[in-house]
Structure 1
Amino acid sequence: MTRIIVLPNASLCPDGAVIEAEPGESICDSLLAGGVEIEHACEKSCACTTCHVIVREGFASLEAADELEEDLLDKAWGLEPQSRLSCQAIVGDKELTVEIPKYSINMVSEVKR
C-alpha cells in the first residue's frame, strides 16, 4: 500500500486525510475509496478538470501526463507545475502529498464549495 496525504480542504476534508492507496489505482479512485469526495464530473474519462490536484510531494514518482491531460490542465483553476488530473495520475510505490484546490471549473455541479 502507498500512503497519500491529503492536505486540508475546507469543504472536502477540513482536517486533511491520510489514505492507504493500492499501487496501480488512480489518485482519484484512491481518494474516493478513502472517503474524500473529490469531484469527477466526466466520470474519470479525462474530459474535464474537476478532479485537478496539486501533487506537493512525490510528483516525480508519477508517470508523465499525456498530451490530452496536459491540454485539459491548461484550463484548470489554480494550475501549478505539479498539477495533475487525479483520474489520470496512477499511484506508484512512493508516498504522495496532494492538495485539492479550493475551486474547480464545473459548469454542472450542484455541490457548493
Structure 2
Amino acid sequence: MAKRITLEPIAQESSVKTNDNLLSMLLRHELNVQWKCGGRGRCSTCHVYIREGVESLSPKSRRELKTLALISNCEENSRLACQARVLGEGVIVELPAGMYLSEIDDLDSLIGKRVQQPILHPINGTVLVEGGRVITRTLVCQLKEALVQIDQLLAHA
C-alpha cells in the first residue's frame, strides 16, 4: 500500500510503497539529492531532515547512527534517505535548497559571477556560499579545499 509523503520547501506530494526508502522516491522525482555510497548508509550524502512524521519511518539502524555522527550539525530529525523506510503516513521531508558543491564541474568558471542559489556541502547540506554572493578567486580556493576534505572523508567512510 502506498504512503503519502510531502516534500518541502517545494510543497510537492508523492507516494511511496510501504517499506520503500525515501531515497527511491527522491530519485524517482529527480530531486536534488546525492547518494555517493550507492544507498548503503555510509556517506551521508542523502541526508535530509524529517519535519513531521518521524514515527512513520523505520528506526535508525546502528549503521545510520554511526554515519549521522559524522555530521557536525546532525539533529534528532536527521535521517539518511537511503536508510529511512516509510511505514506510515504524514511524513514531511525537508530537502536542501541549493546546489551541491560536488555538482559544479568547473569552479574556476564561477570567478566573478554571482551565484543564483546557495552552494551546499555535499555531505551535510550546510550552506558554503550564500545565494547572490559574487565568487572570488579566494572563495574558489576554499571550495576546492573543501572538495579535497570531502573526498578524504568519503574515502574513509
| 1:51-105 deviation per Cα after TM superposition (whole angstroms, max 9, x unaligned) | 0111111101222111111011012253111111110000113121011245432
For normalisation by structure 1, the TM-score amounts to 0.79
CA RMSD of aligned residues (A): 1.9
Identity of aligned residues (%): 29
How is 1:42-57 mapped onto 2 (pairs within 5 angstroms)?
42-57=37-52
Indicate conservation of the 8 Å contact 1:52/1:76, yes or no.
no
Aligned residues: 102
Question: Secondary structure of 2:24's match?
Answer: helix
Matched with 1:4 is 5
In 2, the alpha carbon distance for the partners of 1:78 and 1:21 equals 28
**Which ranges in structure 1 are unaligned for 5 or more consecutive residues?**
9-14, 109-113
Structure 1 residue ranges (4+ consecutive) displaced by more than 6 angstroms after TM superposition: none
**Which ranges in structure 2 are unaligned for 5 or more consecutive residues?**
98-119, 124-146, 152-157
For normalisation by structure 2, the TM-score amounts to 0.58
Q: 2:31 aligns with which of 29, 36, 42?
A: 36
Matched with 2:54 is 59
Structure having the higher helix fraction is 2
In 1, the alpha carbon distance for the partners of 2:87 and 2:71 equals 24
Indicate conservation of the 8 Å contact 1:2/1:20, yes or no.
yes
Q: 1:75 aligns with which of 61, 70, 77?
A: 70
Q: Which has the higher contact order (CA 8 A, sep 6+)?
A: 1
Cα 1:90–1:101 change in 2 (3 A) is: same
Question: Secondary structure of 1:4's match?
Answer: strand
Matched with 2:132 is none
